[in-house]
Amino acid sequence: MHKTAKSILALLTITIFCACQQNPKEAMAIENAERMIVHNPDSAQTILNQINPQGNNELHASWAALKVWAAYRCYQPDINEQDLQTAFNYFAHRGIKNRKALVYYLRAVVHEEKNIGDEADWMEDLRRGCTEVESTDDHFLAAQLFHRYGIGLQKRKRYDEAGAFLNKFMTRAEQAGNKSDIIIAHINLSNLSLERNREKGEYEEAIAYAQKAVEKARGWKMPGELGKALGQLSICCGHNKQFDEALQYAIQAKDIDEHQYNTGKRKEPVRYTRIADAHRKLGNADSAIYYATKNLKHPELTIRMNGIQLLYMINRDLIQDYQKSTRYMEIFQLMEDSLATKLKSEQVIRREMDSESAEALESQKTGYNYLLLSIAVVVILLAILVTVYRLRLKRQKRLLSESATVIQEQQAHEQLLTEEIVNSNKLISDLHEAPHFLSQSNWDMLYSVTEKAYPDFLSSLKKQFADLTDVDVQVALLIRLHFSGSQIATMMAVSPSSVTKQKQRMKKRMAKSNPTLFQAEMSLDSFIQSL
């Protein structure tokens, strides 16, 4: 622990003990909880839940503030508003700067997540917190405040001010020795540079910050942060029209994120927007569709909407199927309307509840009967609002169900079209019935059919696996056209065992390019069919 941090902790300890000497055990417990709250918030929460200091004093207010902070750092949505208000009312106008800064920070972030108040309220609290923490040595808290306020300024397009606070965030993160925050600071500065220099088309600074984030994440062996940094670098390269690099970094980020999610180290399901968009910009329609479709399985509505939007652009710009692109746009608009309805319903209910709560408090001044009447009105209004919300929610579910059905129909239709192209070819049909050695003209025909049915199959195969031989590509083509091993042997005039050995050699060559490709015991045939 840094000397400055030790001095702050000592000061807090003295303050707590002086404020409430009659509760030395509780004061000691609060001190221990505060020491753990940054790196072990769950342990701090356990300690705080075992005590309950009484009275309107500094000890009780510190306990309430730390309870809120621990719950927030444990990502708990049901943070106690009363604890937050108790801490804020006590420390906002008294006590040391650290405590003032903390309660302003907590009120801002908790109310933003609960959507209490508006952005102007949250920004004002963050501004005041930044002012209080500026002259302290509480580097971790300062970093959190500068970070949050900087992001808020960026959203308001106050780029110079945002840059100043995000640089302060980086400095305090370095002083606190928080490696994760240092990487995030570089990512934030990259994103800021990307946004403010977009019109100029100048992306070198944004790329440099993202590369630095990647370098630090790799050096410190932090895969979660590395995935974020690679994702940001992919975005920067995409804006700089370095589409091959953008795809490369997007794939690396995707592989890391999938591993993190599958091993339980990442809670949020993987998004495939970046890799789908990179394929789209490279003109790889099949791959773009494949990854955009994977986004449709994401639990978050906005991510599914990203997938639909990408499918719209792919069909419009690459495939030029305007009928299909129009249908995807209609689905997107349905989902957009559904999202807007949901958000509006939540806002209406929240406003009505806040309004009626205020009326209920005011009614106490006019007598018991009026209070009962007000409560009855509140109950009726809430019942009406809940009913409206449920009806809208039912409509939303119906629209989403319809959207999912349309998507499934589209996918099935695409599959049928592909199968029709393949099955309608006389040569392929004859070869399935009676395989024979393939002449050069036969091969030319098979390559032509494959390009029509699976436009990006061969180019994607060669791009991903540069070590594949011409024979490997021929075997892959026949596998993609659903020929068995014995049929492939006849058509290539070799023994079935030779085909088996050829497949084994192919797997080894492909594994050199992507070592994780066959770790899940995926067969070569299954992988090729998925391309």
- Amino acid making up residue 46: T
Model pTM? 0.62
Going 232 to 249 to 222 to 299, the CA torsion angle's sign is positive
Q: 335 pLDDT exceeds 90?
A: no
Residue burial 198-237, b: 16+ Cβ < 10 Å; e: rest: eeeeebebbbebbbbbbebbeeeebbebbbbbbbbbbbbb
pLDDT digits (tens, 9 = 90+) for 42-99: 999 999 999 988 877 889 999 999 999 999 999 888 899 999 999 999 999 887 899 9
**∠ CA(335), CA(191), CA(204), 5° rounding?**
130
Residue appearing with tokens 């061969």? 458
**Do residues 449 and 422 touch, judged by C-beta distance below 8 A?**
yes
Domain boundaries along the sequence of the chain: 339-423, 426-530
CA nearest to 222, candidates 174, 272, 264, 256: 256
How far is residue 462's CA from residue 450's CA, in Å, rounded to a whole number? 14
Q: 272 pLDDT exceeds 90?
A: yes
Going 322 to 325 to 330 to 333, the CA torsion angle's sign is negative
**Do residues 160 and 154 touch, judged by C-beta distance below 8 A?**
no
CA nearest to 164, candidates 119, 196, 207: 196
Residue 195, Cβ neighbours under 10 Å: how many?
A: 15
Confidence of residue 1 (pLDDT cuts 50, 70, 90): very low
State the pLDDT at residue 344.
58
Alpha helices in 424-468 (DSSP H): 426-433, 440-453, 457-464
Q: 517 pLDDT exceeds 70?
A: yes
State the pLDDT at residue 406.
56
pLDDT digits (tens, 9 = 90+) for 480-513: 888 999 999 999 888 888 889 999 899 888 888 8
Query: In degrees to the nearest 10, what's the CA dihedral of 413, 415, 417, 423?
Result: -140
Residue appearing with tokens 């995707």? 254
How far is residue 467's CA from residue 281's CA, in Å, rounded to a whole number? 25
417 is written with which tokens? Answer: 């079209």
**Do residues 150 and 187 touch, judged by C-beta distance below 8 A?**
no
Residue appearing with tokens 């019109």? 199
The mean-pLDDT minimum among 68-77, 131-140, 141-150, 374-383 falls in 374-383
**Do residues 274 and 253 touch, judged by C-beta distance below 8 A?**
yes
**Do residues 463 and 531 touch, judged by C-beta distance below 8 A?**
no
How far is residue 512's CA from residue 531's CA, in Å, rounded to a whole number? 18
pLDDT digits (tens, 9 = 90+) for 212-245: 999 999 999 999 999 999 999 999 999 999 999 9
The mean-pLDDT minimum among 6-20, 21-35, 148-162, 291-305 falls in 6-20
Question: Which of the 8 DSSP states describes residue 222?
Answer: -
Of the segments 111-115, 151-155, 434-438, which one has the largest average pLDDT value?
Answer: 151-155
**Do residues 453 and 421 touch, judged by C-beta distance below 8 A?**
yes
161 is written with which tokens? Answer: 């001010």
Q: 3 pLDDT exceeds 70?
A: no
Residue appearing with tokens 């405040």? 145
CA nearest to 244, candidates 216, 206, 210, 283: 283
**∠ CA(469), CA(470), CA(475), 5° rounding?**
95
pLDDT digits (tens, 9 = 90+) for 392-432: 777 666 666 666 665 565 555 455 545 555 666 778 888 88
Calculate mean pLDDT across residues 354-382.
56
Q: 22 pLDDT exceeds 80?
A: no
